[in-house]
Structure 1
Amino acid sequence: MSRAEAGVAAGEGTGDGPERVRAARLWWAAGLLGSELALVLRRRRTWALLGVLAAVPVLIGIAVKIQTSDDGTVGGGGAAHGPAFLTQVTNNGLFLVFAALAATLPVFLPMAVGVIAGDALAGEASAGTLRYLLVAPAGRTRLLLVKYASTLVFCLVATLTVAASALAVGALLFPLGEVTTISGTRIPFGDGLIRALLIAVLVAASLAGLAAVGLFVSTLTSSGIGAMAATVGLVVTAQILDTIPQLHAVQPYLFPHYWLSFADVLRDPFYWEDIGKNLQLQAVYAAVFGSAAWARFTTKDITT
């Protein structure tokens, strides 16, 4: 049964009162979300994106292992210019998780999310399936929320893919043990593992604003490729603007500005100021561009 057929089936027999109608619509929305997640996660494109993300920690780990000198330090003088935490990977493989997330967050993760978010609605319109999804009684608002929710789930899956790959490679190539925080204190490996999971969740949350931007772009066109390219282009543009010193006054309002604030989780105690600013900024972007996407999508002509 297709997603549209499931929605129609859920809407049948709902004339027995408002409670029955409400329950049917909730079941439809839950079923549509499950169907949407299954559709997104079984696409070859999604697996290709996740494969690239999983390969990044492997390449970083192998490169660090090759460059490691006999005394356990990274040779070649390139460590200072590498991703954050790279110099500590040889002492503790868990730091490969932090290094891999720092390396993928500026480019690879946003591009992957941009592809999924940009294609969310534009891809359906391009394939001609959008109008059939909207025959169900849940309406456009619930469909938009389902699309956004599935994109957020992909953000978490993509981030955990990087973290899991980095942890596996770090455990294979380097020793594991107590974690030295940025503050200089040492914490047990178990506590470090919990902080690594927290960092992965924070990185996924950092992409919530971008997901809303991509969804809004997806409502503006019927070309999936065009929406994906435009979303990725916005990511690149925002990253460039965030590096120009003359724009320091507006940089705190750019959605990528606080992305690397997750490093403060490795302080003892935690330093929450920049993390809080990042989460607040992502919430604002999600609210503003989510509202813009809703305004556009609920008035958009999808009959042609």
Structure 2
Amino acid sequence: MFRRRRTWAMLAVLAAVPVLIAVAVRLTNGTRAGHGPVFLDRITGNGLFVVLTSLVLCTPLFLPLTVGVVSGDTIAGEAGQGTLRYLLAAPAGRARLLLVKFAGTAAFTLAAVAAVVLAGTAIGLLLFPVGPVPLLSGDLVDAWTAEGRILLVGAYVVLSLLGLGAIGLFISTLTDVPVGAMAATVVLAIASQVLDALPQLDWLHPWLFSHWWLGFADLLRQPVEWSSFGSNALLQVGYLAVFGALAYGRFTTKDVLS
């Protein structure tokens, strides 16, 4: 997967997001409080807020888009290229192939979030001053502690997207057309967020895989509030179990002709 130009192109686009944000803020001398995404107005005072602003922007759209492309291509991509039957001819087994494909999706998810975090940290240090960081609780922490919190936020985002990866893996077993699997996965990610924004569906919100995606704000308090992290982890594990089982059931009984 990491030998493909498409993979590196997606990682480059993700890394470009914090760079564009930082350059825009630098050239315009910042923005007024309350305007733009969360943390945007704090960037001029501390470059570490570039990372947090980028994650707020990328988590609802850009990261799910790239993860949807990769996960939707896992099985359907092999079928579309006519290589799936050759993979299954090896004594590896279908269950092992599914596990390896999901591991590849998880590895890309980690790389995608790391691209945003590393690029945001680097450009923030380059263009803006860095000092004690004010947390949402009002406490000040030093830059090293703040960077540790940022890494924790990155881990939260990776965990949040694993459920989507499992959904994409399942959809990928349903078709031999990778573009269709990719599109369906991305559409589901968008639909879940749209449903989560409707107050009339409050009863449904806790069951949507995207419900806790932006709950990482609780990790920026003193002391750390772990309830969102735990709820998100439990929800994503549930999606992993359900859609992993569905993918296994579908793939192990599927007639592979290509």
Fold conserved (TM > 0.5)? yes
Q: Which whole-Å CA distance do the structure 1 matches of 2:250 and 2:183 have between them? A: 19
- Please tell me whether residue 225 in structure 1 is matched to residue 175 in structure 2: no
* Correspondence for 1:201: 155
- Please tell me whether residue 287 in structure 1 is matched to residue 228 in structure 2: no
Aligned counterparts, 1:53-64, within 5 A: 53-64=14-25
Q: Tell me by how many angstroms 1:172 deviates.
A: 1.1
Code of the residue aligned with 1:49 in structure 2: it is: M
Which runs of 5 or more structure 2 residues have no equivalent in the other structure?
A: none
**Which of 95, 99, 104 does residue 53 from structure 2 map onto?**
99
* Correspondence for 1:161: 115
* Correspondence for 2:67: 113
Q: Any runs of at least 4 consecutive aligned residues in structure 1 with deviations exceeding 6 A, and if so which?
A: none
Q: Which whole-Å CA distance do the structure 1 matches of 2:157 and 2:228 have between them? A: 13
Please state whether the residue corresponding to 1:41 is helix, strand or coil: coil
Code of the residue aligned with 1:61 in structure 2: it is: A
Code of the residue aligned with 2:125 in structure 1: it is: A
User: What per-residue deviation string (whole Å, max 9, x for no partner) do you get for residues 94-140 of structure 1?
Assistant: 11111111110000000000000000000000000111111122200
* Alpha carbons 2:75, 2:169 under 8 Å: kept: yes
User: What per-residue deviation string (whole Å, max 9, x for no partner) do you get for residues 230-256 of structure 1?
Assistant: 111111111111111111110111111
Q: Tell me by how many angstroms 1:67 deviates.
A: 2.6
Which runs of 5 or more structure 1 residues have no equivalent in the other structure?
A: 1-39, 69-73
Q: Which whole-Å CA distance do the structure 2 matches of 1:269 and 1:193 have between them? A: 16
Q: State the structure with more CA Rg.
A: 1
Please state whether the residue corresponding to 1:171 is helix, strand or coil: helix
Please state whether the residue corresponding to 1:42 is helix, strand or coil: coil
Aligned counterparts, 1:19-168, within 5 A: 40-68=1-29, 74-75=30-31, 77=32, 79-168=33-122
Code of the residue aligned with 1:253 in structure 2: it is: W
* Alpha carbons 2:78, 2:84 under 8 Å: kept: yes
Q: Which whole-Å CA distance do the structure 2 matches of 1:212 and 1:277 have between them? A: 18
Code of the residue aligned with 2:122 in structure 1: it is: A
* Alpha carbons 2:35, 2:41 under 8 Å: kept: no
Q: Tell me by how many angstroms 1:275 deviates.
A: 1.4
Q: Which whole-Å CA distance do the structure 1 matches of 2:219 and 2:36 have between them? A: 20
Code of the residue aligned with 1:254 in structure 2: it is: L
Q: Tell me by how many angstroms 1:293 deviates.
A: 0.4
Q: Tell me by how many angstroms 1:200 deviates.
A: 0.9
Query: TM-score, length-normalised on structure 1?
Result: 0.83
Q: Tell me by how many angstroms 1:63 deviates.
A: 1.7
Identity across the alignment (%): 53
Number of aligned pairs?
258
Please state whether the residue corresponding to 1:259 is helix, strand or coil: coil
Q: Tell me by how many angstroms 1:81 deviates.
A: 4.0
Q: Which whole-Å CA distance do the structure 2 matches of 1:44 and 1:246 have between them? A: 43
**Which of 241, 248, 254 does residue 195 from structure 2 map onto?**
241
Q: Which whole-Å CA distance do the structure 2 matches of 1:277 and 1:283 have between them? A: 10
* Correspondence for 1:175: 129
Q: Which whole-Å CA distance do the structure 2 matches of 1:90 and 1:239 have between them? A: 30
Q: Which whole-Å CA distance do the structure 1 matches of 2:94 and 2:35 have between them? A: 47
Query: TM-score, length-normalised on structure 2?
Result: 0.97
